[in-house]
Amino acid sequence: MYVNDLDSGAMDGTACPVLLRESPSTGWVDGQNGLGVVIGNFCMQLAIQKAKEEGVGLVSAKQMYVRDAQTGKCDVNVKPCVLKDTVSTAWVEGNNGLGMVVGNFCMKLAIAKAKQTGVGWVVAKGTHTLLFTSRGLVCQSSNHYGIASWYSAQALKKCMLGLTFTDTSPLVCPTRSKKAALGTNPLSLAAPALKRDSFILDMATSAVAVGKIEVKMKAQQPIPEGWAQDAEGNITTDASVAFKASHLMPLGGSEETSGYKGYGLAMLVETLCGVLAGEDFISWVTASHYLFGLRSNLIITIMC
């Protein structure tokens, strides 16, 4: 059935699911006429992630993708292309396409290179995302690509190690800074295990996600000290003030609680995703009109 649908063009085997809209505990996904098993796995992983964070996860398949497409901030009709590559590396131009399309392109390229040489490193600019596996890749001009671990986990299916990084628009204040200059810069590592559960890490380099502050604000509850700063650069526990300022603190919180380590991790991602990709980095990375609509760069690496 799947083969017939692919051969007839009734289904797109290269399509990647797109998150159209979400809340802390729900999501709406566009399957892009792709393989049902790919869409189902994407939705299930998203639902599990939301359930772990919020206690419940209901996903039918982020509005930012639709808005960016409608306003011309990204082009849904373009295809990413390889600007330069070697047997085990690649530099990709995302052509300002959907981040998930670019990310999927880069991951497949990294895996293919890893199969040949043992490692694949691909970098893409225009996305705020970096992915790495024992094969790697680099990509340019793409946009927010969704869940980092969704890509790194693709390497597990090939018994490979997958590593992804992405930078984002400025939301995090570096240690001793009053203004946001770094992105939340998530990273993910997926490593296969021989007999037991595989290891998958998916984390941001900020102390917390903006969404968790929003949840506290709606519940009229204070946030823990070390999550965010106000507009003047002071640490605040007022969720409304923190959400309005959008000045997150790095992983670890204040300098006294080793927040500079999170700052360092964020800079690591900025270096790999921004500088290496030949794209904007740190405070030069632009944000879209929507709070969570971020442009980014990415790196994907795969090893076997």
Q: Other CB atoms closer than 10 Å to residue 95's CB: what's the count? A: 19
C-alpha atoms less than 13 angstroms from C-alpha of 112 in its C-beta half-sphere? 13
List beta partners, residue 25. Answer: none
Please state the pTM of the whole predicted model: 0.71
As a whole number of angstroms, the longest Cα–Cα distance in the chain is 61
For the domain covering 76-207+249-304, report its CATH number. Answer: 3.30.1370.60
HEC string for the chain:
CHHHHHHHCCCCCCCCCEEEEECCCEEEEECCCCCHHHHHHHHHHHHHHHHHHHCCCEECCCHHHHHHHHCCCCCCCCCCEEEEECCCEEEEEEEEECHHHHHHHHHHHHHHHHHHHCEEEEEEECCECEEEEECEEEEEEEECCCCHHHHHHHHHHHCCEEEEEECCCCCECCCCCCCCCECCCCEEEEECCCCCCCEEEEECCECCCHHHHHHHHHCCCCCCCCCEECCCCCEECCHHHHHHHCEECECCCCHHHCHHHHHHHHHHHHHHHHHCCCCCCHHHCCECCCCCCEEEEEEEEEEC
Strand 136-143 to 119-125 pairing: parallel
Looking at residue 131, its pLDDT comes to 38
Q: What are phi and psi of 28, to 5 degrees?
A: -125, 120
Say which amino acid occupies 281: F
Rg (CA), the chain: 19
- Distance, CA of 61 to CA of 52 (rounded, Å): 18
Looking at residue 261, its pLDDT comes to 97
**Buried b / exposed e across 117-150, counting CB within 10 Å, b at 16+?**
eebbbbbbbbbbbbbbbbbbbbbbbbbbbbbbbb
- Contact of 139 with 127, CB cutoff 8 Å: yes
One digit per residue, pLDDT tens: the chain, 304 residues?
Answer: 444 554 555 556 666 677 666 666 566 666 666 656 566 666 666 666 665 555 444 444 355 566 666 777 777 777 889 999 999 999 998 887 777 788 888 889 999 999 999 999 998 875 533 334 443 333 334 455 667 888 888 888 888 999 998 888 889 999 999 999 998 888 999 999 888 889 999 999 999 988 789 889 988 999 999 999 999 999 999 999 999 999 999 999 999 999 999 999 999 988 888 777 776 555 444 433 222 333 456 666 666 5
Looking at residue 52, its pLDDT comes to 57
- Distance, CA of 236 to CA of 222 (rounded, Å): 9
| Domain ranges across the chain | 2-61, 76-207+249-304
Looking at residue 276, its pLDDT comes to 77
Q: What are phi and psi of 295, to 5 degrees?
A: -90, 150
- Contact of 22 with 28, CB cutoff 8 Å: yes
Looking at residue 61, its pLDDT comes to 37
- Contact of 207 with 259, CB cutoff 8 Å: yes
Mention every residue, 6+ apart, whose C-beta is less than 8 A from residue 109: 82, 90, 92, 120, 122, 137
